[in-house]
Amino acid sequence: MDTIVRVQRAIDFVEDNILDELKYDVIASQAYMSSCHFQRIFSILSNITIGEYIRNRRLTLAGIDLKASEAKVIDIAFKYGYETSESFSRAFTRFHEVTPTIARNQESQLKSFAKISIKNTLEGKKDAMQELSKRGYTVKENGAVYHTRNMDKTAKWFEDVLGWYAGIDARNEAGAGTYGCVLPVPGELVNMQIAPFKGIHMFYGESQNNVVAFMLIEGIDKLYDFVKKNGWEKITEIKIQPWGAKTCDVTTIDGSIITFFELMELKV
Asked if pLDDT for residue 36 goes beyond 50, the answer is: yes
* Burial class for 63, CB neighbours closer than 10 Å (0-12, 13-18, 19+): buried
Half-sphere exposure for 227 (CA within 13 Å, toward CB): 24
Lowest mean pLDDT among 32-41, 88-97, 132-141: 132-141
Cβ–Cβ under 8 Å, residues 197 and 183: yes
Half-sphere exposure for 129 (CA within 13 Å, toward CB): 18
Q: What is the mean pLDDT of the chain?
A: 86
3-105 CATH: 1.10.10.60
State the pLDDT at residue 130.
Answer: 54
Asked if pLDDT for residue 219 goes beyond 70, the answer is: yes
Query: Mean of the pLDDT values across residues 97-115?
Result: 88
**Phi, psi (5° rounding) for residue 133?**
-65, -35
Q: Does domain 132-263 have CATH number 3.40.50.300?
A: no
Measure the CA–CA gap between 144 and 154, rounded to whole angstroms. 15
* DSSP code for 20: S
Cβ–Cβ under 8 Å, residues 66 and 106: no
Residue-range domain boundaries for the chain: 3-105, 132-263
Cβ–Cβ under 8 Å, residues 162 and 217: no
Query: Mean of the pLDDT values across residues 118-134?
Result: 60
Query: Mean of the pLDDT values across residues 205-209?
Result: 88
